[in-house]
Amino acid sequence: MARGRKKAAVLNAPVEGPWELPEGWRWERLGNIATPSKGKYQPDPKSSLPFVGLDSIAPHSIRLEGVSQFSEMRSAANAFSAGQILYGRLRPYLNKVWLADRDGACSGEFIVLNCAADIEPAYLRWILHHSSFVSFASHAVSGDRPRIDFKTMSAYPVPVPPLETQRRIVARIDELFSELDDGETALAHAREDLEIYRKALLKAAVTGELTADWRAANPCTETGEQLLQRILAERRARWEADPKNKGKRYKEPAAPDTSDLPELPDGWAWSSLEQATTLITDGDHNPPKRFPSGVPHLTAKNVKGGRLTLEGCSYVDPEGFEQTKARYCPTAGDVILTCVGTVGQSAVIPKGIEFSADRNLAALRPVLECLTAEYLKALLDSPATQHFIQQGSSSTAQPHLYLRDIRRIIVPIPPIKEQDKIITVIEELSYHAEELLQMSFGPTASLRQSILAAAFKGELVQ
């Protein structure tokens, strides 16, 4: 059978859809209700047409985010007109669909579709955007750069209601999606407010405001200053007792200049991070050879959202790991701090994780009798410390925080029991705020697809 006849036979074959349709609806193959446009534009430096590239539409989007000028293009492009549909054929799982609202030129990676007379273009746009079609298209192609063609697409079964019903469905989808858009905008504002709240919470924590009532009801038996001096004395005594240090001169950790600092609550003391830690270092300056598996090798990009993540990390072999440990051996309870790029991101190393670190990660080991790891992280995240970090790292082309800068960061130290109380209150308030946010705004992506599924079953309009 000739190719044209074979294609016609497929399109004319009876269509059995996956669900029963309402009265007056019918199933049609996509190839019977839409046809690809063949129009082209040749390069023209005098052209005033807008150019839509694949990057002009975000993944899983039906909106145009920006255009360039076709006059800047050096190769031919597909032509499109208002009312036609642009479907991204490259990597169809990215689900890029746009109903054109103007004339223009577009990348050859778009299939430009014309709709049949009884098909509302906006309705077909929603069909192509539905997860069912995305799944169909994604499973129909393969390879590193999978592309779908219209011949493959044309076999997809489409539920087709009367034209007037299509328009009512589109209007209802637009109405519901607009409400979801408003909700997502509100969610974005709420998250911004949550971040402002978190910063205010940290500020209140490290100034003593957060635990003022608790402190009044629980007078301390050893002040932060007494604790700090005791720890410094014990540290010096241990150093002097170590035979390896015989004949050497002990170097006192640098004390902060407190002359211009505000008064602290009773029982608190100012300290430099050098005083309150036993180790401030960074990762290996001569990283070993990387391997596809082995011990994770972490960089600044592996500190996200206040936690360590292994996502996107490289690896070193055990021998390489031993090499990096010579400079720094990660230990549970140490606090990691990013020093390059997005500086000032911190995370506490949890138990049971083994990794090597590069020089863009600093490590701080708190004196546990003086400073808990969780409170140290709160100090590093607090607005005052972040201001110091950002100010000190903004003088270079690529922001960089040096170890000497970290050592001289000045922090307020409360008694150890109050540190524990501060962290408990922060965690409780942050948890409840986030929980309230999640209760108010659920994920909308799945809800949008549920709306489309209901629309194509005739459940959205009567």
Q: What is the CATH number of the domain that holds 321?
A: 3.90.220.20
The tokens for 348 are 């506490």
CA torsion 261→265→269→271, rounded to 10°?
Answer: -50
- Kindly give the confidence (pLDDT) of every residue in the chain, 462 residues in length, as a single tens digit, with 9 standing for 90 and above: 455 554 554 556 667 778 899 999 999 999 999 999 999 999 999 999 999 999 999 888 899 988 999 999 989 999 999 999 999 999 999 999 999 999 999 999 999 999 999 999 999 999 999 999 999 999 999 888 899 999 999 999 999 999 999 999 999 999 988 888 877 777 667 667 777 888 888 999 999 999 999 999 998 887 778 888 888 888 888 888 889 888 899 888 888 888 888 889 988 999 999 998 989 999 888 877 888 888 899 999 999 888 998 888 889 888 888 888 888 989 999 999 999 888 999 999 998 888 999 899 999 999 877 889 999 999 999 998 998 888 877 655 678 889 999 999 999 999 888 999 999 988 888 776 666 555 544 566 778 888 888 888 988 886
**Is residue 168 in some structural domain?**
no
Q: Whole-model pTM?
A: 0.58
**Is residue 194 in some structural domain?**
no
End-to-end Cα separation, the chain, in angstroms: 44
**Is residue 428 in some structural domain?**
no
Query: Which residues are CB-contacts of 389 (< 8 A; sequence separation ≥ 6)?
Result: 343, 344, 380, 401, 405, 409
Reported as a single tens digit per residue, the pLDDT across 54-105 is 999 988 889 998 899 999 998 999 999 999 999 999 999 999 999 999 999 9
Residue 456 corresponds to which amino acid?
A: F
Residue 461: per-residue pLDDT: 82
Q: Are strands 356-357 and 295-298 parallel, antiparallel or unpaired?
A: parallel
Residue 396: per-residue pLDDT: 58
Residue 255: per-residue pLDDT: 87
- If asked whether residues 130 and 30 sit together in one domain, one would say yes
Of residues 321, 231, 355, the one with CA closest to residue 347: 355
Reported as a single tens digit per residue, the pLDDT across 5-57 is 545 545 566 677 788 999 999 999 999 999 999 999 999 999 999 999 999 99
- If asked whether residues 144 and 290 sit together in one domain, one would say no
Residue 11: per-residue pLDDT: 57
Residue 125: per-residue pLDDT: 96
- If asked whether residues 152 and 241 sit together in one domain, one would say no
Residue 397: per-residue pLDDT: 66
Q: What is the 3-state secondary structure (H, E, C) of the chain?
A: CCHHHHHHHHHHCCCCCCCCCCCCCEEEEHHHHEEECCCEECCCCCCCCEEECHHHECCCECCECCCEEHHHCCCCEEEECCCCEEEECECHHHCEEEECCCCEEECCCEEEEEECCCCCHHHHHHHHHCHHHHHHHHHHCCCCCCECCHHHHCCCEEEECCHHHHHHHHHHHHHHHHHHHHHHHHHHHHHHHHHHHHHHHHHHHHHCCCCHHHHHHCCCCCCHHHHHHHHHHHHHHHHHHCHHHCCCCCCCCCCCCCCCCCCCCCCCEEEEHHHHEEEEEECECCCCCEECCCEEEECHHHEECCEECCCCCEEECHHHHHHHHCCCCCCCCCEEEECECCCCCEEECCCCCCCEEECCEEEEEECCCCCCHHHHHHHHHCHHHHHHHHHHHCCCCCCECCHHHHHCCEEEECCHHHHHHHHHHHHHHHHHHHHHHHHHCCCCHHHHHHHHHHHCCCCCCC
Residue 1: per-residue pLDDT: 47
- If asked whether residues 154 and 227 sit together in one domain, one would say no
180 CB-side CA count, 13 A: 16
Residue 436: per-residue pLDDT: 57
**Is residue 68 in some structural domain?**
yes
- If asked whether residues 23 and 131 sit together in one domain, one would say yes
**Is residue 186 in some structural domain?**
no
- If asked whether residues 137 and 232 sit together in one domain, one would say no
- If asked whether residues 152 and 230 sit together in one domain, one would say no
- If asked whether residues 275 and 380 sit together in one domain, one would say yes
Q: CB–CB of 195/400 below 8 Å?
A: no
Max Cα–Cα distance, the chain, nearest Å = 98
- If asked whether residues 14 and 99 sit together in one domain, one would say yes
Q: How many residues does the chain have?
A: 462
* Domain count within the chain: 2
Domain housing 53: 3-160
